[in-house]
Chain A
Amino acid sequence: MTFLYQILNGIQIGAIYALVALGYSMVYGIVKLINFAHGDIIMLGSYAVWYFMTRLNMPWWLATIATIIFCSIVGIIIEKLAYKPLRNSARISLLITAIGVSLFLQNTVQLIFTANPKMFVTFIPSGGFSIGNRSISYTTLITIAISAAIMVALTLLVSKTKIGKAMRAVSEDNRTAQLMGINVDNTISFTFALGSGLAAVAAVLYVCSYSQIAPTMGSMLGLKAFVAAVLGGIGSIPGAMLGGLLIGVAESLTKGYISSQLADAVLFGILIIVLLVKPTGFFGRGDREKV
């Protein structure tokens, strides 16, 4: 029974990791960039939903929609200002720029809202289904359900729609895609908007579960999601989902049965092992280096 609960705890946080990992993976798939600022989009989303609800007194659904739009726009702006000018330069320049963007976002938020953490009052009703002396909170169930629904929708979007097809084409080979009449710039912008929108949803679910909002909250969350993306195979959408859930469950079981001090060590140990043994992860395709 306890084991089942630990799995459920793991799936809850894992579902959030998965949403974040999807953003990493999609962006990597398209521009071959590990967008280290992605974790900070979650931080921005958390502050946004908190601000919309407590300062502008929006109802929760409006605040959530506004947050998704806000994060998507920020995602597009970051891509246009920071990454697009470097699209044809060395990949290391892009990576360093991403770290710069991450620091910029953290410090800007710290300047505006100070380093003091904010408390977010969840709008999901407290309580849940009780079974014996235990209960499964509504927050857990809603987090899992929403994440699952979004992942299904995303899979459909990528595999069935025209823009999804464009995304896949650009990620295969953007030069050829351009020759085929696909607007690469718009597709890349759309991918950033989509990834950041998913991060916004993850942010709302995250603050509903964990209440606390701080300028640096995105770093660790982002890193763990990054491990999830690598484990699943970076660039692969089903991989990111599976990776996120596995990382969440691994973290929960390590905390529950081995030692909480080792939880992070185990997670990053997984990263090292994956990189040593199967760098492409579960679903990643091998490198297609063109000479």
Chain B
Amino acid sequence: MKIPRIISILLVLLLALPSLVGCAGDSAEVIKIGVIASLTGEVAVYGNAVAEAVKLYVEQFNEAGGIGGKKIKIIEYDDKGNATEAVNAYNRLVSSDNVVAIIGPVISTPTLSVAELSAADNVPMITGTATHPDVTKYGKNYFRACFEDPFQGGAITRFAADYLKAKSGAIIYNTSDAYSTGLKDSITATANEIGFTITATEGYAKGDVDFKAQLTNIIQTNPDVIFIPEYYQSAYLICKQARELGFTGTFLGVDGTDGILEMEGVDPSIVEGMYFANHFAADSTDPDVVKFVEDYNKKYGKNPNALAALGYDAAMILINAIKTVIENGGEGFALTNSAEHRQLIIDALRATELDCVTGNIKFDENNNPIKECVIIQIRDGANHFVANY
């Protein structure tokens, strides 16, 4: 079949069009940053908190003039808390959206997959919230705004022994989740170190909703506290079933517990009295926190949780690093996603020293921040600051 020449020319033009549009518009005026967050799915409360906080910071930053008139533009993808989706989002951001750096993902499992991939590309990455130790170990390009799992696992265990004067505890954890198993290991290690008795360690698989068999075994050993290193959805079901089986002791959670009170249809009496380790307390009196809580409240009509605070900090750290790079570049410098510019941003990130919402942030040699954690208690259906650990 012969295609008329005019049609073939039109077709070629049609195919070429998107790439032309791509060049024309954005390179000069905006700086594109990717965001990967779990906006739907089991941990949607986290992803939305992070995404909202990032938007808040970017908005404030752009309103204040951006970087010499250049605005920051966010390109956001939903990973549903899933590693495969996160990798797809990462590939799209790097190869077709041409972003200069990426914030995210939100929880540890997808972040680990993206971390491995991004190390080879040396893309500047910062996650606000993924606490698994290995996140920053694949390459020198990955940073985070939160503390690591071993640290908070240790803190909540010491808190149980020192502050609550508990004698013994049991652990129930998710065997198919890197975050949960990592925390289980650090709780066990700290308990051994300080001579705190762990009466039972029980596991379950991802997606389980029936924990009664494991809890029956745990209650049999009569622990004072139960450690639940798990995200809020499953943590809530575990607490509910433990109470149904007659457990009267205290539940101890981790930063994944944050968000438990925001679930639709939650019964706060089930988690009343629970303590958990966290990155930030919204009822703190620190001026940076007070201002952040106020701004967030004004924009979204609710109090920020710790994930929001960390998302805000991640955006602040990354955008400040980009600003440094552009300012150092001097007149006529145009930031691209070239390998050279990626390295410049990574170097600027490493040199970060900033007063953030979750504390003063400086990175150690492994790109992890050096900071403290707070312990929060759920009382009368609200989070209350208890202690720094």
Contact = CB atoms under 8 A, between A and B. Distances in A.
Interface in A234-277: 251-253, 255-256, 259-261, 263-264
B220 A252 contact: no
B42 A117 contact: yes
Interface string B265-290: 11100000000000000000000000
Contacts of B245: 5, 134-135, 137
A174 interface: no
Interface string B299-339: 00000000000000000000000000000000000000000
Contacts of A217: 209
A128 B267 contact: no
Contact of B213 (A54, A118, A209, A260): A260
B198 to A, nearest CB: 17
A211 B240 contact: yes
A119 interface: yes
Interface of A, helix, strand, loop or mixed by DSSP:
helix
Contact of A119 (B202, B246, B265): B265
B210 A256 contact: no
B227 interface: no
A115 B203 CA distance: 25
B213 A261 contact: no
Most buried by A among B204, B219, B244, B264: B244
A228 interface: no
Contacts of A255: 204, 213-214
A222 to B, nearest CB: 13
B72 interface: no
A115 B45 CA distance: 12
Given A115-B80, A118-B265, A130-B246, A2 B214 contact: no
Contacts of B244: 126, 128, 135, 137, 139-140
A120 interface: yes
Given A137-B244, A260-B204, A119 B263 contact: yes
Contacts of B209: 210-212, 217
B75 to A, nearest CB: 21
Contacts of B240: 211
Interface string B40-60: 111010000000000000000
A9 B267 contact: no
B42 A256 contact: no
A9 B216 contact: yes
Interface in A173-214: 209-212, 214
B349 to A, nearest CB: 33
Contact of A2 (B44, B202, B220, B233): B220
B265 A2 contact: no
B225 to A, nearest CB: 15
Interface in B204-222: 204-205, 207-210, 212-214, 216-217, 219-220, 222
Contacts of B41: 115-116
A89 interface: no
B237 interface: yes
Given A121-B267, A210-B237, A260 B214 contact: yes
A263 B204 CA distance: 9
B175 interface: yes
Contact of A126 (B202, B216, B236, B243): B243
29 contacts: A6-B213, A9-B216, A13-B210, A54-B265, A115-B80, A116-B41, A116-B42, A116-B44, A118-B264, A119-B263, A121-B265, A126-B243, A126-B244, A128-B244, A134-B245, A135-B244, A135-B245, A137-B245, A139-B244, A210-B209, A211-B240, A211-B265, A212-B209, A212-B233, A212-B237, A252-B212, A255-B204, A259-B203, A260-B204
